[in-house]
Amino acid sequence: MADLIDRLVELVGTGAVLAGDAIGEEWTHDEALTAEAARPDVVVRPASTEQVGAVVALAAARGVPVTARGSGTGLSGACIPRAGGIVIAFDHMAEILELDLENHVAVVQPGVTLEQLDAATAAHGLVYPVFPGENSASLGGNVATNAGGMRAVKYGVTRHQVLGIEAVLGTGEVVRSGGKFVKSTSGYDLTQLVVGSEGTLAIVTEATLRLYPRPEHTATILAPFASMEAIAAAVPRIVGSGIDPMVLEYIDLVAMAGIEAASGIELGVDPDVRAQTLAYLVVVLEDRSARRLDEDAEELALMLGELGAIDVYGLPPQAGAALITARERVFWAAKANGANDIIDMVVPRASIPTYLARVAELAAESASFIVGCGHAGDGNVHLSIFQGDAEVRDRVLHDLFAAGVAMGGAISGEHGIGSEKKAYLRELEDPAKLALMARIKTAFDPHGILNPGAIWDPEVMA
């Protein structure tokens, strides 16, 4: 090990290697509620792609596990290091290399944060439209987990913005894929394969990201409903109208109470209306024209009335922004309130009510408390599970995932599998597909050193 550290110091410099007691607690965990922290043997902070390649090549030669780490804001344990392994941290590779205003792309290093990119693009009237809710998150981490967020109903998720990457394979080789263009049929799409692979196929050292014009005006509309069925029925009507909402969220009664308590927002909902409400639909519209935005907001309000909303509130700008911010922070509210776990199942959006009915049954059967909110426009259901007994919780989680998969869904919409959901993936996914994925993993990482223990256990791979 001492020898490994010496070699790493040769590769990246003394100041960029942490070992032993110099490795603080902050390197040992992400934000997953259930994951056990683990201390790596060494943390390296490379300054260039060449250094990343050299570190990975060394690790490959020695058979030492390597885990890439951005801001550590993940929710599934994907960047928790393996004991005895190397963490490659990207805080020294955090530069926006290029804002290309002609091609509308940003070229970034993996340590660049969402808020850093947002400030840089805003200055040019542009936006990188992925807002997963934690703006200190790094883009490397976003690419690794295919981060989503509330604006996916309009813009898609990280996958849809990544036009190209530079990445280091498990051999230490550096490859580039894609570029400053939205289309290519010139061999296999390695970019899309690496996006969402949670650091198990390659380590992304540069990403070319798509930018969009940033509309100046937004409006937030809040509509209380008496049932999830009515909300789910409203969604295709709203999307199909062509009004193109930027955000289309549902928030259940309890989650909204938590949001209100945590943020102190006053939504102005009439007490009589509240008494009938089971869940809220929140719609955010955006437009470059204030007049068109007003017209659309009015059209939407009428539509919501016809679709069974108990009432419709156009929130004042400050309250609207506060509600969206509080919704983005709902994970922290759940954590503060003692949630034992959170999940982000995805199902076909029209199946949300059926799925939530099943969730209610599972909660009742297991004496768990399960509440949440989610992306009504794209079927991504975020649930907080309050169940202190780990064994019962494990069974509930299994049943929650199994129910969603049976409806044609997937275990995670945007958080990823990481270390925390891999047992469920193994149980619920088609073995032929898992075997295929394992062969793909080997194609990228023949020595099995890239983030072993994320998505599946190395022994399952073999």
d(CA 20, CA 5): 10
- Which of these, 337, 326, 452, lies nearest to 66 by C-alpha position? 452
Nearer to a second copy, 26 or 459 (CB): 459
Nearer to a second copy, 391 or 430 (CB): 430
Among 36, 50, 95, 100, binds a second copy (CB under 8 A): 100
Contact set for a second copy, span 343-362 (CB under 8 A) = 346-350
307, 234 Cβ separation under 8 angstroms: yes
As measured in angstroms, the least distance from the Cβ of 130 to a second copy is 11
Check binding of 102 to a second copy (CB under 8 A). Answer: yes
Cβ neighbours of residue 200 closer than 8 Å, sequence gap 6 or more: 441, 445, 450, 451, 452, 454, 455
Check binding of 242 to a second copy (CB under 8 A). Answer: yes
Nearer to a second copy, 8 or 126 (CB): 126
- Which of these, 142, 170, 200, lies nearest to 53 by C-alpha position? 170
Give the contact letters, 218-237, x = binds to a second copy (CB under 8 A), - = no. Answer: --------------x---x-
As measured in angstroms, the least distance from the Cβ of 288 to a second copy is 4
Nearer to a second copy, 92 or 447 (CB): 447
Q: For 213, list phi and psi in degrees, rounded to 5.
A: -60, 145
- Which of these, 71, 69, 19, 17, lies nearest to 44 by C-alpha position? 17
Contact set for a second copy, span 107-126 (CB under 8 A) = 125-126
Q: How many residues bind a second copy (CB under 8 A)?
A: 85
As measured in angstroms, the least distance from the Cβ of 157 to a second copy is 5
Contact set for a second copy, span 137-196 (CB under 8 A) = 145-146, 148, 152, 156-157, 159-160, 169, 173-190, 192-193, 195-196
Contact set for a second copy, span 43-72 (CB under 8 A) = none
Nearer to a second copy, 121 or 277 (CB): 121
As measured in angstroms, the least distance from the Cβ of 129 to a second copy is 13
Nearer to a second copy, 3 or 183 (CB): 183
Cβ neighbours of residue 106 closer than 8 Å, sequence gap 6 or more: 96, 98, 99, 100, 117, 120, 121, 128, 208, 209, 211
d(CA 381, CA 187): 35
Contact set for a second copy, span 407-436 (CB under 8 A) = 408-417, 421, 425, 429-430, 432-434, 436
Check binding of 271 to a second copy (CB under 8 A). Answer: no
Check binding of 103 to a second copy (CB under 8 A). Answer: yes
Among 12, 16, 108, 201, binds a second copy (CB under 8 A): 201
Within 10 Å of residue 214's Cβ, how many Cβ atoms? 16
Nearer to a second copy, 293 or 322 (CB): 293
Among 65, 110, 379, 448, binds a second copy (CB under 8 A): 379
Say which DSSP state 281 is in: E
Within 10 Å of residue 404's Cβ, how many Cβ atoms? 25
Nearer to a second copy, 149 or 258 (CB): 149
Nearer to a second copy, 91 or 173 (CB): 173
Contact set for a second copy, span 307-326 (CB under 8 A) = none
- Which of these, 356, 396, 359, lies nearest to 376 by C-alpha position? 356
Indicate the SS3 state at residue 229. helix
d(CA 167, CA 368): 43
Nearer to a second copy, 116 or 146 (CB): 146
Within 10 Å of residue 311's Cβ, how many Cβ atoms? 18
Partners of 212 in the β-ladder:
127
As measured in angstroms, the least distance from the Cβ of 340 to a second copy is 21
Q: Which amino acid is at 124?
A: H
Say which DSSP state 80 is in: P
Check binding of 398 to a second copy (CB under 8 A). Answer: no
Within 10 Å of residue 364's Cβ, how many Cβ atoms? 10
Q: Using the rule CB under 8 A, give the single segment among 26-34, 330-338, 366-374, 378-386 that binds a second copy.
A: 378-386
